[in-house]
Amino acid sequence: MPAQPDRFTEVQTGAEFAQLRRAHRSFAFPVTAAFIAWYLLYVLLSNYAGGFMSTELVGNINVALVLGLAQFLTTFLIAWWYARHAATQIDPRAEAIRARMEAGE
């Protein structure tokens, strides 16, 4: 079945598509804001709290190194968390919309 622009517009304005967008936004916006805040905290601490950041925890490992490595850890955790969220909340809804569109409903 050839693409029909009116059909895409109709689906995009529908309640099911709104639920799909809401499922994505309810995860992406808060997590993005939290991660940016966490990153900015690290940057601010690095610039303005040098004494705290240079505090040695174990041997030559200091607070700055631990928090810097935690940035990588949180990046991977967020990616894993989003993959789970997408698989359970977003992908099934998107697949249902796609299947209905391909069926011509």
Q: Which pTM value belongs to this model?
A: 0.81
| The total number of structural domains that make up the chain | 1
Asked if residue 92 belongs to a domain, the reply is yes
Per-residue pLDDT reduced to its tens digit, 44-61: 999 999 999 999 999 999
Asked if residue 10 belongs to a domain, the reply is no
Other CB atoms within a 10 A radius of the CB of residue 42 amount to 16
Asked if residue 70 belongs to a domain, the reply is yes
CA distance 54 to 105: 63
Per-residue pLDDT reduced to its tens digit, 24-47: 999 999 999 999 999 999 999 999
Domain residue limits at 80: 28-103
